[in-house]
Amino acid sequence: MKAISPWQLNVFRVTLEGPLKSRQKIRLGIILFSFFLFPVTFYYLSPYLIVQATSEGIINGSFIVFSLLFLSSLVLGRAFCGWVCPAAGCQETISRVREKRVLLGNWIKWIIWIPWISVIIILAVQNSGYDKIDFFYQTTFGFSVSNIYSAITYVFVLLLIALPSFIVGKRSFCHHICWMAPFMIVGRKIRNVCNWPALRLVADNDQCTQCQTCTNHCPMSLPVSEMVETNKMENTECVLCGSCIDGCPHSVIHYQI
Ligand code: SF4
Ligand code: SF4
């Protein structure tokens, strides 16, 4: 049988890896675009406006978006965090210059989230629910930043997202502060208990050489090579970005539904 030349092997590798690397370029393009749109969209992700609207008996944009994120996580896990979130675009840009891994403190966001969601529930109960839907609540023609006050709020939120990445490390906002992540973590836990078909990572760990490339590529600082070795690919902090899949030189990790 004719031996495969190094050139042929290289062509094979390019064919195999080309689309995978393109996938990460597409992902980075999407989250960067989402970040540039953030001045338009940030009221639809606001943790404050949902409280204000609830006190007035109104279902606002962020109520609807957070509900959709929860529903999407029942099938797509935290794919929103990896593929769409504007905060991802901001933080992954910063992680190019500040690569420190974040290994502790994922519980901190729950200390923020539990009192916050409790206030929303209490207000909704006190008001006997909601009597109006206004997706564009407090926006001007759908735009979030439309005056000096919203511009100041926008800068404050931007600093809240960006500074932890500089000070603490990669995607620290997602690990420690984000009020949206818990909705998706809860949805993902429900999915895991019910075990219905959903997007997840799987690994053929007998092909793994423990080269650590996947661990180094993970924007969420997860110990991916360890996850592969122990065959435990489920992690509540995994945002299903696919960086480990596309970085692995032996195609060990895959998406599966
Ligand atoms: S990059 Fe691939 S081969 Fe390397 S440790 Fe990760 S799964 Fe194993
Ligand atoms: S484990 Fe893989 S898919 Fe999950 S966040 Fe890390 S790099 Fe992305």
Question: pLDDT tens digits for 29-68?
Answer: 999 999 999 999 999 999 999 999 999 999 999 999 999 9
Nearest-angstrom CA–CA distance, 13 and 18: 8
Residue 169 lies in a domain: yes
Residue 1 lies in a domain: no
* Nearest residue by C-alpha to atom 3 in ligand 1: 208
Residue 150 lies in a domain: yes
Count of domains in the chain?
1
Ligand 1 geometric centre to CA of 62 (Å): 38
Amino acid at 175: H
Residue 179 lies in a domain: yes
* Nearest residue by C-alpha to atom 2 in ligand 1: 248
Ligand 1 geometric centre to CA of 47 (Å): 38
Residue 209 lies in a domain: no
DSSP label of 99: -
Nearest to 40 by CA among 133, 108, 141: 141
Q: What is the total residue count of the chain? A: 257
Per-residue pLDDT, 174: 97
Helix (H) or strand (E) holding 249: none
Residues of the chain with pLDDT below 70 are: 1-20
Per-residue pLDDT, 168: 96
Per-residue pLDDT, 9: 38
Ligand 2 geometric centre to CA of 140 (Å): 37
Nearest to 239 by CA among 186, 154, 174: 174
Residues linked to residue 143 through DSSP beta bridges, in sequence order: 140
Question: pLDDT tens digits for 11-24?
Answer: 333 333 445 578 99
Per-residue pLDDT, 21: 77
- Domain extent for 124: 15-196
Nearest-angstrom CA–CA distance, 68 and 114: 19
**Chain position carrying tokens 């989250």:** 31
